[in-house]
A = this chain, B = another copy of it.
Amino acid sequence: MSSILTTEGVPLYVKIREGIRSDILQGRLQPGQKIPSEEELAEQYRVSRMTVRQGILDLIKEGLLHRKRGVGTFVSYPHFDRDHTRLTNFFESAREQGIEASSVVLKIEILAAPEKVAKHLRLEPGGSVICIRTLRYVNHTPVTVHDSYLPHRLFAGIIHEELENVHLWDVMEKYGFQVKRALQKLEAKPAAGEIAKLLGVKPGYPILYKERTVFSTDGTPVEFTYCYNRGDMYSLTVAMER
C-alpha cells in the first residue's frame, strides 16, 4: 500500500483518498477485492477512523468503491462507456458510424425572442435573436427538424455563413464560443402539421421532441433549439448516475 508523502496544505482525508485511488489505478487493489477495514487503514495512515472514513466515502460517491455493511469495502468494477454521457456532434457521430448525413437550411431570420427563448438564453424579453430552421437527413431520409435560436448580439454575422452540411457548433467556434454543455428536455409529442409534412409522416405520428439549451465553456447560453425527431428513426442513449 502507498504511504503518504509530506505535503503541506492538503487535508489528511484527501491524501488518504488519493492514496487509495492510486492503489486502485495502479492495480495494487483489483476490482472486486476487499480493501483493508477502516480500522486497519486508520492505523496504517496513523489517523483516526473518522478521517479514513471521510476519504473512503468520497470514493464511494465517485463510484470507485462500494461497501456492504458488516462485511467490508470493495473495489468496484470499472464501467466502460463514458461515451453515452457525452454530447455528440451529429455529423461527427454519423461519420463514425458510417452513416450518410446531410442537412439543409430551410429558413433563417432575425426576430424578437419569444418569451421562452429569451428565458433560456438569458436575454431581456424581446431581445434580438437569429432563428435558423434546418432539416437533417440520414441516408437521404428526413429525420430531424431543428429550430435554433442564437443571441444576435453574439453571432451577428452568422447569417452570411455557409450553414448547410456543417454543424452549427463548428461555426460558433469562429465567433469565439466553444460548446461545452447542453441541457436537454425530452418528450414524446404528436407531429403537428408542418413538422409532419417536413418529416414525411402523418400528423399525430410520434415525435421525439427536445428542447435544448447549449452552453459554451464560459457558461454563456449560446443556443436554444427545438428539435423534432422522427420517432422511428432516432434514439438517444444517455448514462446517468446518482
Contacts and interface: CB of A to CB of B under 8 A. Distances in A.
Given A32-B218, A179-B242, A206-B190, A236 B185 contact: yes
A217 B180 contact: no
Contacts of A209: 188
Contacts of A85: 85, 240-241
B66 A178 contact: yes
B237 A186 contact: yes
Interface stretch (A20-28, A73-81, A107-115, A134-142): A73-81
Interface string A178-221: 11111111111110000000000000111111000001111110
A163 B66 CA distance: 25
A181 B240 contact: yes
A68 interface: yes
A128 interface: no
Interface residues of A, number: 57
A76 to B, nearest CB: 5
Contacts of A184: 237-240
B188 A229 contact: yes
Interface string A156-182: 000000000000000000001011111
Contact of A76 (B89, B183, B217): B217
Nearest to A229: B188
A127 interface: no
Contacts of A86: 240-242
B77 A240 contact: no
Given A61-B61, A206-B207, A185 B241 contact: no
Nearest to A85: B240
A77 B217 CA distance: 8
15 contacts: A31-B219, A60-B217, A61-B61, A77-B219, A86-B242, A179-B242, A181-B239, A182-B240, A184-B238, A185-B236, A186-B238, A187-B234, A187-B235, A188-B229, A189-B231
